[in-house]
Amino acid sequence: MKRINALIVMTILGVGSIALGDDKILFDGKQAAWYSAEIKADPENADNKVLFWFGANKGGQLTMVPLDKDWSKSTSLCFKMYTNDVDGHEIMIACDSNPEGTQGNYYFKKIKIDWKGWKVITIPFAEFGVSRNVMGWSCITRFSICSNGWGCVPNPNAEYYIDDVKLVDGVEKAK
């Protein structure tokens, strides 16, 4: 009976799963498989662990290679981002989708840093631009946030933190 109760609680809480409902979690304070980032205390809540994007102020790229490359069951990318200043600079979100043996095929979306503190950013896949010959949302080979290139110029005083990176469902499925 105790085992059944424990399983029911685990099922309700989603323990042991990286999915919350239909959301696919890419970062929630535990996954360290990101490049140009380290897990640090939230600048507003020391009990919460978040990604600190070191190098953002120098034109760096925050990158992760997803274990599950099929994002087609979702419709949007959602994450929280903290900025220390309303700096007006832009960052580029890039989702590589390369056919075998190729590079430079990706979805992209530019975001202007026009807030201070935490902000939830939700980008429907339909709002991403397309560069070259992408495979589709069923084959995302790399996810990056860039502070340089595509007309983006890094803010030398930038401090950017990222949290709760996930894929979410909406009304329309990705194509």
pLDDT tens string 110-160: 999 999 999 999 999 999 999 999 999 999 999 999 999 999 999 999 999
pLDDT tens string 23-53: 888 877 666 678 899 999 999 999 999 999 9
Which CATH number is 19-168's, of 3.90.110.10, 3.40.1280.10, 2.60.120.430, 1.10.357.10? 2.60.120.430
pTM of the model: 0.81
Q: Residue ranges per domain, the chain?
A: 19-168
pLDDT over 50 (residue 173): no
- Give me the count of residues in the chain: 175
Buried b (16+ CB within 10 A) or exposed e, 22-48: ebbbbbeeeeeebebbeeeebeeeeee
pLDDT of residue 31: 66
Residue 163 vs residues 82, 98, 147: alpha-carbon distances, Å: 8, 26, 17
pLDDT over 70 (residue 5): no
